[in-house]
Structure 1
Amino acid sequence: MEKDNYLTFENGNITSKKWELDRISISHSIIDYNSFEAHTSKNDSESVRLHFGLSGNYDFNFKQLKSSFKLTGHHNNIIYSDGLDIEVFNKSKRIETFGINFTTETFINIAQNGNDSLKKLAEKVINKKNAILSNEWKPNNFKIHQVINEILYCQFTDELKDLFLLSKSIELLVLQAELYESNSQSRFIKSNLDKQKLFEAKEILVKKIDNPPTISQLSILVNLNEYKLKKGFKEMFGTTVFGYIHSNRMSLAKRLLLGTDMSAKEIAYETGYSSPQHFSKAFKKEFGNTPDSIRNHPDYTT
Structure 2
Amino acid sequence: MMDYKLDVGDLAEMYALGKSEITVSKDRADKFFHFSKGKVSFKEERLRNEVIMVQGAYHFNDNIELTGSGDAPLLEMQFNLSPSSIFYENKLSKSPFVAPMSGNIMFDAENGKAKIGFKKDIAYHTFDLHLPTPLLLQYEGECKEMDHFLDAIDKGKSRLLSDPPIRVSPKILSVIDDMRQCHYTGITRRIYLEAKVYELIALSFNKLNNAHETLTLSSYDKERILLAGQLIRENVGRPHTIQELGNLVGINRNKLKQGFKVIFDTTPFAYLQEIRMNQAKQYLLDTDLPLQEISMLLGYNNLSNFSAAFKRIVGHPPTKFRK
Q: How do 1:166-205 and structure 2 match up within 5 A?
A: 166-182=194-210, 184=212, 186-205=213-232
* 1:101 is the counterpart of 2:130: yes
Distance in 1, matches of 2:269 and 2:62, equals 37
The one-letter amino acid paired with 2:304 is: Q
Distance in 1, matches of 2:320 and 2:207, equals 36
Q: Could you tell me which of 208, 214, 219 is aligned with 2:241?
A: 214
Partner SS for 2:77: strand
The one-letter amino acid paired with 1:271 is: L
Partner in structure 1 of residue 275 of structure 2: 248
Of residues 155-164 and 209-218 in structure 1, the stretch that sits farther from structure 2 once superposed is 155-164
Deviations 1:96-124 (A, max 9, x none): 111111012333234x1431111111111
Answer whether contact 1:57 1:91 (CA < 8 A) is retained: no
Partner in structure 2 of residue 119 of structure 1: 147
Q: Could you tell me which of 159, 174, 179 is aligned with 2:187?
A: 159
Distance in 2, matches of 1:183 and 1:266, equals 38
Partner in structure 2 of residue 130 of structure 1: 158
* 1:6 is the counterpart of 2:32: yes
Partner SS for 2:73: strand
Deviations 1:252-290 (A, max 9, x none): 111112222322111111111111222223223333443
Specify every segment of 5 or more residues in structure 1 that has no aligned partner in the other structure, as ranges: 298-302
Of residues 250-259 and 54-63 in structure 1, the stretch that sits farther from structure 2 once superposed is 54-63
Partner in structure 2 of residue 287 of structure 1: 314
The one-letter amino acid paired with 1:236 is: I
Answer whether contact 2:295 2:306 (CA < 8 A) is retained: yes
Evaluate the alpha carbon distance shift between residue 21 and residue 183 of structure 1 in structure 2; reply closer, same or farther with a 3 A threshold: closer
Partner SS for 1:204: helix
Deviations 1:37-67 (A, max 9, x none): 311233313221111111122212225x486
- Structure 1 residue 243, shift from structure 2 partner: 0.7
Partner SS for 1:16: strand
Distance in 1, matches of 2:273 and 2:63, equals 37
The one-letter amino acid paired with 2:248 is: L
Answer whether contact 1:108 1:126 (CA < 8 A) is retained: no
The one-letter amino acid paired with 2:293 is: E
Partner SS for 1:203: helix
Partner in structure 1 of residue 302 of structure 2: 275
Partner in structure 1 of residue 115 of structure 2: 87
Partner in structure 2 of residue 300 of structure 1: none
The one-letter amino acid paired with 2:127 is: F
Of residues 23-32 and 82-91 in structure 1, the stretch that sits farther from structure 2 once superposed is 82-91
Evaluate the alpha carbon distance shift between residue 289 and residue 180 of structure 1 in structure 2; reply closer, same or farther with a 3 A threshold: closer
- Structure 1 residue 189, shift from structure 2 partner: 4.2
Answer whether contact 1:44 1:84 (CA < 8 A) is retained: no
Distance in 1, matches of 2:251 and 2:239, equals 17
Q: TM-score, normalised by structure 2?
A: 0.82
Partner SS for 1:45: coil
- Give the RMSD, CA atoms, in angstroms: 2.3
Q: How do 1:52-91 and structure 2 match up within 5 A?
A: 52-55=79-82, 56-62=84-90, 65=92, 69-82=96-109, 83=111, 85-91=113-119
Distance in 2, matches of 1:84 and 1:104, equals 19
Partner SS for 2:313: helix
* 1:236 is the counterpart of 2:284: no
Specify every segment of 5 or more residues in structure 2 that has no aligned partner in the other structure, as ranges: 1-26
Q: Could you tell me which of 16, 21, 24 is aligned with 2:51?
A: 24
- Structure 1 residue 188, shift from structure 2 partner: 1.2
Distance in 1, matches of 2:31 and 2:211, equals 40
